[in-house]
Structures are given as structure tokens and as C-alpha cells.
Structure 1
Amino acid sequence: MPGPSRETADIILLEDSLPLLRRFARIIETWPHGRVIGAFSSVEQAIAAIGTTKVDILVADLNLPDGSGIDAIHALRSCHPEAHAVVVSVLSEGPTVLEAIKAGASGYILKDDTSFDFIHALEMTLDGKSPMSPTIARQIIESIRGAPDPAARESADQVKIHLTPRERDVLTAIARGFSCREVSEMLGLSVQTVPVHIRNIYRKLDATNRSEAVFEAQRQGLIQP
């Protein structure tokens, strides 16, 4: 018996290697459940597209000429909380991996990992699973084993967090459910600037998504419930 039908996923590719970017696009063209709506080699271009377009999956490299793919993941999570991000990178250092996962990446695949089928990784992501190269999974396990005592986190929470007036405006708007485009129009900001503010808010509040940021800001009295 055939499985349930799957809607077509809108995918953005972020990769500075043009041959690899074209290869990913060609592979997705053969997949009936996905379509490439944007293929970019710069973080700035990807963030601009994320702020103005419906996205289901972001496939991102991390080391880009104009910045980190992690910035694009932050933008994705702030503008499209239900979307997924999959990192495809040569970087396997523990801190980098954890930063990407904390930013909101659902999966992390090393470029030299020949055991992973690209389309299968995308299907796993849409099914709520986390495709990861064995080396990356090991890095995460080792990091968890070395995680700091919860008491240290509680002590850090007592440090006063400062949000700029503009960051408070942006946070209040997203707390009310407005999209990045709506926030930009309300506050007179460019679509590219809103994700930057949201990323800074997440960093200051140690949050990985909109709900966590709003909860923490309300808990600390930074915005009204």
C-alpha cells in the first residue's frame, strides 16, 4: 500500500561552491517532493530570500565568503519557525557543530560523508528526524557529556540582560505573531535588517527560537505578556 502523499517542499540552497550548488539543484530536480526556490552563494542573498519567501528547508554550508551560514539559519528560525535547516559542510569542530544545532539546524552532514543520500536526508528532515553524519553525532554526545552544571546556568541567568529599544520593538512585534516582512513595514526597517535584530535578541536571551525568546523576555520583564 502506498504511503501518504507528501506536499512539495520549497527549498533554499546556500553554498559558495558553484559546482556543488548546481549538483544539489540537479538532484532536487529529480525529487518529486521538492523544488529549489533559491540557490545562493552568499549569506546576505539567502537571508533576503528567507525574509520574503515561504521556505520549508534551508540547505546551508557554514563557511561562506560574506559570513556564516549560521546567520541564515537564525533568519530561517525567526521568519519561518516551522521550517527545517540542514547543514552540509566540511566543518566538524565541536563548537561549530553545537552552534549550528543551537541556532536551529535539524541535521548536519559532512561533505565527505559518502554514506548519506542527499534526498534521503531531506526526507528524514521533513519526517521530523535529524540526519547526521556519525562524526557529528559523536561530537554532540561528547559535548553533552562535558556540559556544565545546571547551577552555572542558573547563576548566568541572574546577569542583567540589556535589549536596545529597537530590539524590544522587534521582539514585541514577533511576540504578537508578526512575520519578518510585517515587522519591517511596521518599524520602517529593511527586510534584511529584521533577522539581524532577531539574531541578536536570540543571542542575548540564549534562545534558539521565537517562543523561547518571548518566554525568556517576559520572564525577565523585558516585554509585557
Structure 2
Amino acid sequence: MNETHSLAGRSVLVVEDNREVRTGICRALQAAFAGLSASGVATAGEARRLLFGPERRAFDLALVDIGLPDGDGVEIIRAIADALPETMPVVITIFDNDRTLFDALAAGAKGYILKSATMASLIEQLRRIDAGEPPLSPQIAHRMIAHFRAMPRLSAKAEDGEPAEALTRREQEVLSLLGKGLTAVDIAAALGMARNTCATHIKAIYRKLRISSRAEAALEADRRGLLRDRGDG
């Protein structure tokens, strides 16, 4: 059977200051995905010019390093998430600490891959995009689970001991899509609602569940069984 993946024939931007690493990632992507076009830049300034400048180009995926010589990769992630809904921002970095991880996720990153991964592992993580799964290094997934398990379960009870408010059916639909990594713009389009209406639902979800980040929303969606396909038996 002929395998096809979502990145085949697509365009990818690799933002990485180490020339050898950048070249290696671009070559690995081109070898793994038929017809893929990979462009590499070394700085935040170069990335902004290609993404937002007069000579801007359309990219389906942006792999962004955090530590860049002229800026913070998290800000590039945030700019992409805010203005380029057609581009999927994914972190690729050496940093595996909680602060960097959750800052990136809060900024809109839809995946987080460590540079310690082999090229084969990198490709495998990116191939999961086709199945609607966020590309996450196994260490990062374990870190996220450990982080939230250590937190008080504020979504189950209010701070004064009162039960949390129940979500409406629409809020559950929005939470499900938040848990799958969709942006507010994507969710509004998928559910046929105005962006302001979607934003109102997200604020209500965060208030009712006593959460404050996309990562917490994803964990809560998974806990409620909202990430499982309806056809799963």
C-alpha cells in the first residue's frame, strides 16, 4: 500500500541557527515526504521576513527553535498562531524545562520536539500530523502529564469546595477541539461560529474549569473522554 502523509507536497520553514542541524533537518524532511519543499533560516529576523515581510511565502509548517541569536522563538510561534492560521507552528529545541514548554504551548505551538531525537524519530513525530495528533517528543508528553498530575484538581472543585459549573454541549465541543490543538480561528471555522463567539466559549470554559492554558485544556478534554473518536469502541 502506498503511504501518503499530510506533509507530502507541502512547504516547511525550518528556523534553526545551527547551520549543520538546519541542513540536516531540511534534507531529512525532503527525503521522508515526497515533493516537500523545505526552506531554512538562521534568525528570527529572517523568519519574520519570509513569514510576514513583502517577500512573504506561504508555509504549511514552521519548525522553530527557541534560542535564536536575535530573538525568542516563542515570539515567532505567537506571531504565527495569531496571524497565519494556515501555518502549523511546532517547536524544535534542546530546552525541556516546564517554563519553556508551557510558554510555547500558551503562545500557540501545536507540537514540541526535542533536538535530542533521532531524525527517524523526528520524521515519525511529524507523520502523526496526518492522523490529527500533535507532534510531541515522548519525554515532553511525560513531562506534561507529570506537571498536571502534581497540580491541585481545581477543575473538579471550586476553591471554596463547591462543584465546578457544568459545561454546555457547545462548550464541550469547543473543549474537544482545543484538546486536539486547534486554534480559536480553526475552532470557529469548524463549528460555524463567529470568532468572538468562540472566544466567549473559551473564556467560559477556562472560568468553569479553573484552568488558564491550552495544555490544561487538553488534559481536561482527555480526562473527559472528548479526544476519542466517536467510532472508537
Whether the 8 Å contact between 1:77 and 1:209 is mirrored in structure 2 is no
Whether the 8 Å contact between 1:13 and 1:40 is mirrored in structure 2 is yes
Offset at residue 62 of structure 1 (A): 0.5
Name the CA distance, whole Å, in 2 between partners of 1:5 and 1:102.
27
Whether the 8 Å contact between 2:10 and 2:36 is mirrored in structure 1 is yes
**3-state DSSP class of the match of 1:86?**
strand
Alignment correspondent of 2:129? 125
Structural mapping, 1:69-148, within 5 Å:
69-114=73-118, 117-147=121-151
Whether the 8 Å contact between 2:59 and 2:86 is mirrored in structure 1 is no
Whether the 8 Å contact between 2:63 and 2:89 is mirrored in structure 1 is yes
Q: Per-residue displacement from partner, 1:2-32 (whole Å, max 9, x unpaired)?
A: 3567551110010010111111122223231
Offset at residue 33 of structure 1 (A): 4.4
Name the CA distance, whole Å, in 1 between partners of 2:107 and 2:200.
18
Whether the 8 Å contact between 1:59 and 1:87 is mirrored in structure 2 is yes
With normalisation by structure 1, the TM-score equals: 0.62
Offset at residue 103 of structure 1 (A): 1.8
Name the CA distance, whole Å, in 1 between partners of 2:72 and 2:199.
26
Name the CA distance, whole Å, in 2 between partners of 1:138 and 1:60.
21
Name the CA distance, whole Å, in 1 between partners of 2:202 and 2:66.
33
Alignment correspondent of 2:2? 2
Identify unmatched segments of 5+ residues in structure 2: 160-182, 189-194, 204-233
Identify unmatched segments of 5+ residues in structure 1: 153-207, 221-225
Alignment correspondent of 2:45? 44
With normalisation by structure 2, the TM-score equals: 0.60
Whether the 8 Å contact between 1:73 and 1:105 is mirrored in structure 2 is yes
Report the number of matched residues. 164
Alignment correspondent of 1:174? none
Name the CA distance, whole Å, in 1 between partners of 2:184 and 2:48.
16
